[in-house]
Amino acid sequence: MGMKKEGLKLFENGKRIDGRAYDELRPIKMEVGVLKRADGSCYLEWGGNKVLAAVYGPRECLPRHTQDPLKARINYRYNMAPFSTDERVRPGPSRRSIEISKLSKEALEHVIFTEYFPKTSIDIFVEILQADAGTRCAGLTAASLALADAGIPMKSLITACAAGKIDGKVVLDLGKLEDNFGEADLPIAYMPRTKELVYLQMDGDLTKDEFKEALRLALKGCDEIYRIQRDALKKAYEGEVNGR
Ligand code: ADP
């Protein structure tokens, strides 16, 4: 969100700067099982975002004093590669990445059956290889598939997507310019099976009605992404299920 260049139009004649309609997602593809040494993994491309998620565990939680005797401990690390944006990102945690990691971990604590695996940790690494707005949603969506690939029991997959406001119009899935020069961004994640929200943030301002419309659009986006997630899992496991 920020000051726009004079004359830059983000929404004109019913179309956005990249030609999308107001309710259209950027192209998304995902593949699971891409890393041999992780227990579960997923590679995801979403518009210009490229994201790799790796899951390890449940494994013995170390150091031992960090163990929870009643449930698994979830660790989530969102990290931007130094080469992922125009300006080199300083390596190591930033305020922003710590915040995203914390909220993403809390979202996953709602869906993973952590009580099945006391004293263990489930470690989730999300590496943003290329960032183009919407990386927290792309990361969570990929992490959820990597967890499924690792065979970790969950109440549901989770699916994340944002809606926002550009030139006064509420639209789905902001691209980079829209994120930089738009008026608001509302990333959410939810459990498609139970329709429970597990993540919600808001940057910028929306009226009550705009908020409702943004939430409606983001949920619609999530439903489309959920289909792509399920297809990716089917593609990876159909052969196994059929004994091939
Ligand atoms: P999200 O990626 O979830 O939309 P933000 O709204 O904070 O998160 O960031 C929007 C976009 O701005 C990112 O996807 C990335 O392209 C860019 N960006 C974020 N942080 C940095 C940074 N430290 N350096 C350069 N670009 C960044």
Predicted local confidence at residue 50, as pLDDT: 98
pLDDT surpasses 70 at 3: yes
Q: How confident is the model at residue 180 (pLDDT cuts 50, 70, 90)?
A: very high
What's the number of domains the chain is made of?
1
The answer to whether residue 69 sits within a structural domain is: yes
**Per-residue confidence (pLDDT) for residue 170, from 0 to 100:** 98
Mean pLDDT of 210-229: 98
pLDDT reading at 104 higher than 60: yes
Distance, CA of 41 to CA of 232 (rounded, Å): 12
Instruction: Map tokens 């004359």 to a residue.
Output: 7
Ligand 1 centre from 48 Cα, in Å? 12
133: pLDDT strictly greater than 90: yes
Q: Is the pLDDT of residue 75 over 70?
A: yes
* Average pLDDT score, the chain: 95
> Does residue 14 fall inside a structural domain?
no
- For residue 190, the Cα-to-chain-centroid distance in whole angstroms is 10
85 CA from centroid of ligand 1 (Å) = 8
pLDDT at 161: 98
Is residue 221 one of the residues assigned to a domain? yes
Residue 5 maps to a domain: no
Task: Output the CA 127–ligand 1 centroid distance in Å.
Answer: 13
Beta strands in the chain (DSSP E): 11-12, 15-16, 28-32, 40-46, 49-60, 73-80, 120-130, 159-166, 169-172, 184-191, 196-200, 203-204
Residue 137 lies in a domain: yes
Q: Is the pLDDT of residue 4 over 80?
A: no
Residue 8 lies in a domain: no
Q: Is 119 helix (H, G, I), strand (E, B) or coil?
A: coil
Whether the upstream peptide bond of residue 58 has omega within 30° of 0, thus cis, is yes
Q: What is the pLDDT of residue 7?
A: 81
Give the Cα separation of 46 and 75 in Å (integer). 24
Rounded distance from Cα 241 to ligand 1 centre (Å) = 39
Asked if the structure places residue 56 within a domain, the reply is: yes
Domain of residue 193, CATH code: 3.30.230.70
What is the extent of the structural domain holding 208? 19-241
Q: Whose CA is nearest to atom 10 of ligand 1?
A: 133
HSE of 164 in the Cβ direction (CA atoms, 13 Å)? Answer: 29
Percent of the chain with pLDDT over 70: 98
Query: What pLDDT does residue 51 have?
Result: 98
pLDDT tens column, 187-199: 999 999 888 999 9
Residue 164 lies in a domain: yes
Q: Give the closest residue to 176 by CA, choosing from 137, 141, 135, 237.
A: 135
Instruction: Name, in order, each residue with C-beta under 8 angstroms of 98's C-beta and a sequence gap of 6 or more.
Output: none
Pocket of ligand 1 (CB under 6 A): 85, 87, 89, 96, 131-136, 176, 179, 185
